[in-house]
Amino acid sequence: MKQLNCVLILMLLFGISVTTYGQDMSDSQSLQDAVIYEPATIDTADRQKKNLSLPEEPSIPYWVRELKVNDPARHYFGIGMSTNAVSEADDNARIEFSKSVEVQVDAQVKQEISEKGRKVTEAFDMKNTVMSKMILRGIYITDRWQDPDGKKFYSLIQVNRDDYNKLIQEEIEREAARQVAMNRYEEKKRIEELRHKESLVKLEKDQTELALKEKKQKDELREAKKKHKQDHIDHVMRTYGQYNTFQPHYRLADMKNAEISAFKHSISVKGSLNHPGFVSADYGLSMWNIVGISLMMSMDDERLDRQDATIKLKLLNGVGKMYRVSAALSFSQYINELPVIYKFRDFETISLSPEYTLGGMVNVSVPRLYSTVCFQADKRRISLGMISHPLFMHLDEYVGVFFQADYFPRPFYRNQYNDKWQIQPGFQFMVLPDRFYATIAYEDNHMINLGLDIHL
């Protein structure tokens, strides 16, 4: 029985050993990259287990067999392995080397940050920049090895730790100086942008204030002009406004203005004083104070000289505050050339050729001068006149002085001297308020006439 128990125990131990050896062999066959850790954190026994597939021959380098260098405390290293190609083993070695260096870079960057109080983002950027530059800075493959079967390739990168730490520190300081310069530049740029923004805000504020000031000045100037104008109107109305309360007489010397008589019937008779004799007669009919009809005849050398019939329509009836304005349109029929008529039976043998014309009249009062400017125009004549009442403050419109200038484009309406231009001044008297007017005027450049106008 004792012999049987010993056999069973030996068989059980052999089975366990075979199973363990098979698992180690499987792990060794699947391993393609050797991971290098710092000596303080690497389990050496685990490394040796993963590399059991390599026979212990003197021709196999120590770093291949042990997956570490002889003095790992004094060196940074990275060991890469590949079953495909040497280049892949080189790349894996670089990867493992960067992992070993990253720990040191991270520690030195943290020290730099703690000493100089940099931002977290600056530390992150510094670490990435230093790592990128250190990997690209003279890192070469130190050694390579290939197993005799040509199935596995090994690559080694090994540098002195102290020398490389100095390079790392130099690069960190260089990057720190670069970041300081960059931060200064960014700060200066930020300050300049802030100043520029403040100057733009100030400029916009100044422009807004200037625009508001100009608008205020324009508004004040507009209000001042408006007030000045209103003050002027008020002054004129207070001082001269009464002059606009009456309607001037509708006739000066022989021109008719835009006014229509307030009475229904009007009769005018005119005679010469320096050449005694009858000059003209006129009859007017007014309707609704807006329509006037007049018939006129004149004599020359004791014979009928002119005939005129006019209808006048008033369009504006004394409108306006400071300046009273009236306007009217007229339509006239007249006989251009009258034959010589001595007896009534001569009417049986004569032939008349009437003509027609449209015309217009305008009156504008000028209260400050106690005057009214009159204008009349049709195809027979163009007349401009002004009547003034210089004693209006004392005598109202009882005494007036007028001046009339006429241009006659057609010979038929000219005087016996064929003058195109005529100057006709005179005086006008209101004998009875609004009913009876007397006019003395120098007419036709050679006659002094007396005219009487009666309104019924």
More confident residue, 32 or 317: 317
| Average pLDDT score over residue span 63-76 | 89
CB-CB contact of 318 with 244 (8 Å): yes
Nearest Cα residue to 376 out of 342, 413, 412: 413
pLDDT of 143 over the 70 cut: yes
Question: Same domain for 78 and 190?
Answer: yes
DSSP letters for 266-301: EEEEEEETTTTEEEEEEEEEEETTTEEEEEEEEEET
| Average pLDDT score over residue span 64-91 | 90
Query: What does the pLDDT read at residue 27?
Result: 38
Instruction: From 245, 264, 287, give the residue that closes a domain.
Output: 245
Q: Which of 83-97, 177-191, 340-354 has the lowest mean pLDDT?
A: 340-354
Parent domain of 21: 1-26
| Average pLDDT score over residue span 396-416 | 89
Question: Same domain for 106 and 234?
Answer: yes
| Average pLDDT score over residue span 239-252 | 83
Instruction: From 187, 222, 245, give the residue that closes a domain.
Output: 245
Query: What does the pLDDT read at residue 9?
Result: 35
pLDDT digits (tens, 9 = 90+) for 208-217: 999 999 999 9
Question: Same domain for 116 and 206?
Answer: yes
Question: Same domain for 316 and 297?
Answer: yes
pLDDT of 88 over the 50 cut: yes
Residue 434 maps to which CATH number? 2.40.160.40
Where in 191-350 does DSSP place strands (E)? 265-272, 277-287, 291-300, 303-319, 325-335
| Average pLDDT score over residue span 318-333 | 90
Question: Same domain for 325 and 440?
Answer: yes
pLDDT of 48 over the 50 cut: no
Question: Same domain for 89 and 231?
Answer: yes
Question: Same domain for 179 and 314?
Answer: no
Q: Which of 122-136, 280-294, 379-393 has the lowest mean pLDDT?
A: 122-136
Average pLDDT, the chain: 79
pTM recorded for the entire structure = 0.52
Question: Same domain for 114 and 221?
Answer: yes
| Average pLDDT score over residue span 158-168 | 84
Please give the structure tokens belonging to residue 338.
């009258």
Q: Which of 104-108, 171-175, 344-348, 376-380 has the lowest mean pLDDT?
A: 344-348
Question: Same domain for 311 and 380?
Answer: yes
The Cα–Cα gap between 81 and 92 comes to: 7
Number of domains in the chain: 3
Question: Same domain for 195 and 273?
Answer: no
Question: Same domain for 89 and 217?
Answer: yes
Question: Same domain for 287 and 181?
Answer: no
pLDDT of 335 over the 70 cut: yes
More confident residue, 52 or 274: 274
Kindly report the CA angle at 46 between 41 and 48, in degrees rounded to 5?
120
